[in-house]
Chains A and B, each alone.
Chain A
């Protein structure tokens, strides 16, 4: 037990990974909510890939101009510039040409990524960037400077998102209304893009270029399945981000695997569990709902049976007339809940709403009978066939039959239709 859980905690590298990773994952989860809701997931990917060119550029410029080796703020600024340039290029290409946005994103981020890779290899004598490190991330080797950068970024991004929560909420949900009350919608879009870039940049050093988009969207997507309010979704996404890092890091030391990979694996498993068990939007809940669904046909059969019987109807009578008596008890209960029936002693009667519904089906039944007769259906088949057809009782169909038959008053058995 001690070896499994406590021992890693005493190691400095593990502590740093835990702190740095949690900070990054927390803020990535929160921003990720907006990314998911705005369907910008692809953008996270594009930003992280573009970053390598920015890092190389920043490194090179700081070294050439100021003689500073691996200057972290310089590389950070370079990444941001690269990220914003990529976004601008994407929207430019999508706007001026027939190339759609998803393609434009794909072109630009692979292009700029390639530029970064080529630059890093050409200038390998000046700048020392380990490409592999960049692509895979190195959460177990987090440096103190990385910790500071990510703490600062997280504080900044979280402050912006918390202070302007309502602004981002409304600009995401209803940009037209946001604009109509005077919010700078376009500016908010830019601010959000910069926040996403900042988060991506600080996360790449830990989980790497390829996995960073997962850290952004997977916790947010898990939270999406569990919440009906944006603030709650953000809290949950932050929580899921942090648990992914904790779970992933333990996984990584136990299995002696790559850190970034273990974190994303844990994060994804977490999502799958939520997807399965989420009380409202989960797969099991959905399956349960389908299972509990009362067939409309059964409901209608029960309604017309009681209407035809004309007085409070005991169970035995209903069983005789309703075709599918499987789940009949459940159907009756749910109809009472829906306000269609009332139960007194062992008998059921229609409520006002139930009566209205029953009349509707009965009218459809009689119209169908009249129609069937008019097209020459043998007398003995009239009732059973109409009994199936009566469930097609939407207003359009009923009106059509009514029109076509010249608004008949009586059906073939002489019963009144209206």
Chain B
């Protein structure tokens, strides 16, 4: 039943908990290929956990995650990932080109060093995100948007068809947000599926083909106009309706 369709990510009855407290509860979702999918929900809703479960980094209590029809634990390297900014040690002694090169590590056998071919691929990836001029910089010496782009370059260097991004737009200015979005759309055009955690409801409808609304449970998955509904949002964002009253207005017009 799973191999005949074009779902690239299949999540079936997924529950993930930390210390007996579920971060995700009974989440089932099938994501089609070639789309830009946004994941929205309040702080602590389990968005990062959802991403980590797709990566196979956290072990589900129950449920299965399948990537291209294979179990997530087996589908190593078919999913590339851009971490949340706060999760990175920006003082780490590593340069931009080395981060991009990490995208190639899976292809390099353990007994050899990265070949010229790998370095070229990494550099190409940096060019795609327009970061080639910063190749020798230490990663802490970049602006927030540039840092985000370096990690996107790394994900592109991996060559995976599925990209997961955890809050790439957090803490960047409007112009940078545009630049990042442009890279995402180009990746989509190149046939990639992108799942992006996003915190800004007011731009969600404009940026994404589909939205996933979660808060521990899955509240909705579908095109923005079906997800950004007042009844759903008020349930998830309890009493903070004012913030997205304009979102709803925008949707209606």
Cβ contact within 8 Å between A180 and B57: yes
Q: Mark B33-63, 1 if CB is under 8 A from A, else 0.
A: 0000000000000000000100111000000
B57 touching A176 by the CB < 8 A rule? yes
Q: Is A299 an interface residue (CB 8 A)?
A: no
Check if B138 is an interface residue, CB within 8 A of chain A: yes
Q: Please pick, from B93, B108, B111, the residue contacting A163 in the complex, using a CB distance under 8 A.
A: B111
B211 located at the interface, meaning its Cβ lies under 8 Å from any Cβ of chain A in the complex = no
Mark B77-109 against chain A: 1 for CB-CB distance below 8 A, else 0. Answer: 101110100011100111100100010011010
Q: Of A170, A176, A177, A227, which one neighbours B93 at CB under 8 angstroms? A: A227
A179 engages B111 (CB within 8 Å): no
Interface flag for A166 (CB, 8 Å): yes
> Which residues in B have their C-beta under 8 angstroms from that of A172?
92
Q: How many Å lie between the Cα of A179 and that of B75 in the bound state?
A: 11
Q: Contact between A229 and B108 (Cβ–Cβ < 8 Å)?
A: no
* CB-CB nearest in chain B for A185: B57
Q: Would you call A182 an interface residue if the criterion is a C-beta within 8 Å of the partner chain's C-beta atoms? A: yes
CB pair B110 A164 closer than 8 Å: yes
Number of A positions contacting B (CB below 8 A): 23
Contact digits for A217-228, partner B, Cβ 8 Å, 1 yes 0 no: 000000010011
Q: Are B102 and A177 closer than 8 Å at their CB atoms? A: yes
Please, which residues of chain A bring their CB within 8 A of the CB of B94? 169, 173, 228-230
Contact in complex: A228, B57 (CB < 8 Å) = no
Q: Judge whether B77 and A180 touch: CB under 8 Å.
A: yes
Known: A170-B105, A229-B98. A181 touches B93 (CB 8 A): no
Q: Which of B55, B110, B138 touches A179 (beta carbons < 8 Å)?
A: B55
Cα–Cα, bound, A249→B56 (Å): 51
What is the minimal beta-carbon distance from B38 to any residue of chain A, in angstroms?
20
Contacts of A174 in B (CB 8 A): 83, 88, 102
Task: Quote the shortest CB–CB distance from B215 to chain A (angstroms).
Answer: 22
Whether B110 pairs with A173 at a CB distance below 8 angstroms is no
Residues on A with beta carbons closer than 8 Å to the beta carbon of B76? 180-182
Please tell me if the beta carbons of B105 and A179 are within 8 angstroms of each other in the complex: no
Is A37 among interface residues, defined by CB-CB distance under 8 A? yes
Question: In which size bucket is the chain B interface?
Answer: 20 to 34
| Pair B106/A182 contact, Cβ less than 8 Å | yes
Contact A228 B110, beta carbon cutoff 8 Å = no
Contact across chains for A173 and B92 when beta carbons are under 8 A apart = yes
In the bound complex, what is the Cα–Cα distance between A172 and B76 (angstroms)?
Answer: 19
Question: A167 at interface (Cβ–Cβ under 8 A)?
Answer: yes
Q: Is the CB of A176 within 8 A of B102?
A: no
State whether A176 and B89 are in contact (beta carbons under 8 Å apart), knowing that A167-B110, A228-B94, A229-B94 are contacts in the complex: no
**Any B CB within 8 A of the CB of A75:** no
In the complex, whether A233 has a CB less than 8 A from a CB of chain B is yes
Cα separation A180 to B58 with both chains bound (whole Å): 10
Chain B residues whose C-beta falls within 8 Å of the C-beta of A164 in the assembled complex: 110
A176 vs B56: C-alpha distance when bound (angstroms): 9
Given A229-B93, A233-B93, A176-B105 contact (CB < 8 Å): no
How far is A227 from B83 in the complex, measured between Cα atoms in Å? 24
With A181-B105, A228-B138 in contact, is A176–B83 under 8 Å at CB?
yes
CA distance A232 to B136 in the complex (A): 14
B-chain residues with CB within 8 Å of residue A169 when the two chains form the complex: 94
Minimal beta-carbon separation of B160 from chain A (angstroms): 9
In the bound complex, how far is the Cα of B109 from the Cα of A163, in angstroms? 11
- Complex-state Cα separation, A169 to B110, whole angstroms: 13
Which A residues touch B93, using CB under 8 A? 37, 224, 227-230, 232-233
Q: Please measure, in the bound complex, the distance between the C-alpha atom of A166 and the C-alpha atom of B138, giving whole angstroms.
A: 17
B226 to A: closest C-beta gap in Å:
31
The answer to whether B102 and A180 touch across the interface, beta carbons within 8 angstroms, is no
Docked CA distance A148–B87 (Å): 42
A230 to B77, CA, bound (A): 24
Residue in B closest to A226 when the chains form the complex, CB atoms: B93
A166 to B95, alpha carbons, bound, how many Å? 14
A63 vs B158: C-alpha distance in the bound complex, in angstroms?
56
Contact: B83 with A228, CB < 8 Å? no
Contacts of B55 in A (CB 8 A): 176, 179-180
Whole-angstrom distance from the CB of B192 to the nearest CB of chain A? Answer: 16
CA distance A167 to B109 in the complex (A): 11
**CB pair B95 A229 closer than 8 Å:** yes
Complex A-B: 18 CB contacts under 8 Å: A164-B110, A166-B110, A167-B110, A169-B94, A172-B92, A173-B89, A173-B92, A174-B102, A176-B55, A176-B57, A177-B102, A180-B56, A181-B77, A181-B105, A182-B76, A182-B77, A228-B93, A230-B93
> 10 nearest interchain CB pairs?
A182-B76, A228-B138, A181-B106, A180-B55, A181-B77, A233-B93, A179-B57, A176-B57, A230-B93, A227-B93
**Chain A residues engaging chain B, CB cutoff 8 angstroms:** 37, 163-164, 166-167, 169-170, 172-174, 176-177, 179-182, 224, 227-230, 232-233
Query: Assuming A37-B89, A173-B89, A180-B57, what are 5 further A-B pairs, CB within 8 angstroms?
Result: A164-B110, A166-B110, A173-B102, A181-B106, A224-B93
